[in-house]
Structure 1
Amino acid sequence: MAQTTPLSVHHTPLEDVQGIGLGVGLCAIGVTLLTQAGLITGQTAGFAVIISYLTGLNFGLVFFVINLPFYVLAWRVLGCSFTVKSLAAVTLLSVLSAALPQGLVFDYVHPAVGAVCAGAIIGMGLLAMFRHNGSLGGFGVLALLIQSKTGFKAGYVQLIVDALLFGFAFFLLDTSLIIWSLLGAIVLNMVITFNHRTDRYIAR
């Protein structure tokens, strides 16, 4: 069987701006939907949401600070371009997640609907950023690194991290909300697993 060579795509700066901007916007909407439903998400954002719930600190600020150590890993392993794009994306998400609830309020969100919709929206947002060689930093950087080095899919890496996160959250939050949140995390990671294919598409 002939081996398929992945398509290498060189995006223009304008394409990167719109792609990453769209991705961050979708993620901000998804996070707003999750938090207004009282749910959490996975990965670094999940840790930031939990800390925000427990301390009352702004999610955007906590998310930005948690990501700082991962920039060192991104710079050393994934390069300057990826790191700069990820820093810009994290900063923008921090700002949007603080501002968006001022203009987007959901009167009622059933946890099941909120989990599935937010998981899909955030997954598509992350996929848009991956396609433009960016990310929201954190454990996503580690997941992309493992996939590039070993072939073990980034979505599966993130599922493992999420399992640890939700195991911890069971001791802190309502059990039913954790279960619904876990559903959202599964949807999110399946979107990435089935659509982020570096054997088909490599962003430069």
Structure 2
Amino acid sequence: MPLLHISHARRSMDSFKSVLQSATMVSFLESPSPEQHSYFDDFQGLIVGTLLVALSVQFLQTAELFTGQIAGLSLVGERATGVSFGSLFFVLNLPFYIIALLRMGWFFTAKTFVAVAMLTFWSFLLPQFLGFDSLDRLLGGVLAGVTAGAGLIVLFRHGATLGGVGIVAVWLQDTKGIKAGWVQLGFDLLVFALALSFFDIQAVVFSLIGAAITNVMIATNHRRDRYIAH
């Protein structure tokens, strides 16, 4: 009798394993595959992303802070050389657009140009409808960091950046697995080190806090292994 019970138990276990394997295979076959964003998806993503970044600029301007990336480097260069911010920003971005064309393709580069144009539009429009009489510098840095981080994540997930180091950051993440947020944070540290010679220490510290928040948000939320749409 014990032998019969053991044999029956083994057959039951084998049947259970077979059912479990079949269920696992069905679940795998029915799991959603990565889907390409539609043109509408990308368009609304560019609108939302650039609007959030423009809002972060509004916070920075009100709190009398600045930012990192090529924009921050251009501001430091303007203080150091007297060359206008616009001229420096245009010239410093040229090598990055060449990289975008060679490494990321025309479509990525075109979306980045559109994103830059949208950000310019929002930057002119927002102050007409939104303003602050005053804003604590620390709070301004935090709010700017959060809104810029959220906006850039949206842009990255829709295959666009705001030019500059963001282009290299996205390319390195896609090809080398290096997180985009850490690349941008490293560049920001260099910019802020230079800014110490031209801005007061409080502005540099609170601006650095905002930049750190932005880049940590990107590093922890924009991951190819967790985000399946593209």
The 3 A distance-change label for structure 1 pair 116 and 100 is same
Supply the AA of the counterpart residue of 1:156. W
Q: Which residue of 174, 178, 190 maps to 2:204?
A: 178
Supply the AA of the counterpart residue of 1:137. G
Q: CA deviation at 1:65?
A: 5.1
RMSD: 2.3
The reply on whether 1:21 has 2:47 as its aligned counterpart is: yes
Q: CA deviation at 1:8?
A: 2.8
Q: CA deviation at 1:151?
A: 1.3
The residue aligned with 2:29 is none
Q: Which residue of 197, 200, 203 maps to 2:226?
A: 200
Divergent runs of 4+, >6 A: none
Question: Distance between the aligned counterparts of 1:153 and 1:13, measured in 2?
Answer: 26
Question: Distance between the aligned counterparts of 2:109 and 2:43, measured in 1?
Answer: 14
The reply on whether 1:86 has 2:78 as its aligned counterpart is: no
Question: Distance between the aligned counterparts of 1:126 and 1:64, measured in 2?
Answer: 20
Question: Distance between the aligned counterparts of 2:171 and 2:45, measured in 1?
Answer: 21
The residue aligned with 1:45 is 71
Question: What does 1:134-149 align with in structure 2 at a 5 Å threshold?
Answer: 134-149=160-175
More helix per residue: 2
Question: Distance between the aligned counterparts of 2:79 and 2:58, measured in 1?
Answer: 14
Question: Distance between the aligned counterparts of 2:92 and 2:202, measured in 1?
Answer: 27
Between the two structures, name the one with larger relative contact order (CA 8 Å, sep ≥ 6): 1
Q: CA deviation at 1:20?
A: 0.9
Aligned residue for 2:34, secondary structure, equals strand
Question: Distance between the aligned counterparts of 1:77 and 1:47, measured in 2?
Answer: 24
Residues 156 and 193 in structure 1, CA contact (< 8 A), matched pair in contact too: yes
Aligned residue for 2:132, secondary structure, equals coil
Residues 132 and 203 in structure 1, CA contact (< 8 A), matched pair in contact too: no
Q: CA deviation at 1:47?
A: 2.2
The 3 A distance-change label for structure 1 pair 140 and 202 is farther
Supply the AA of the counterpart residue of 1:115. G
Supply the AA of the counterpart residue of 1:99. L
Q: CA deviation at 1:89?
A: 0.5
Q: Which residue of 62, 68, 82 maps to 2:94?
A: 68
State the percentage of identical aligned residues. 41
Gaps of 5+ in 1: 1-5
State the Cα deviation string for residues 16-68 of structure 1 (Å, max 9, x = none).
10011100011011012102211111112222444567759576x76455433
Gaps of 5+ in 2: 1-31
Supply the AA of the counterpart residue of 1:83. T
Aligned residue for 1:193, secondary structure, equals helix
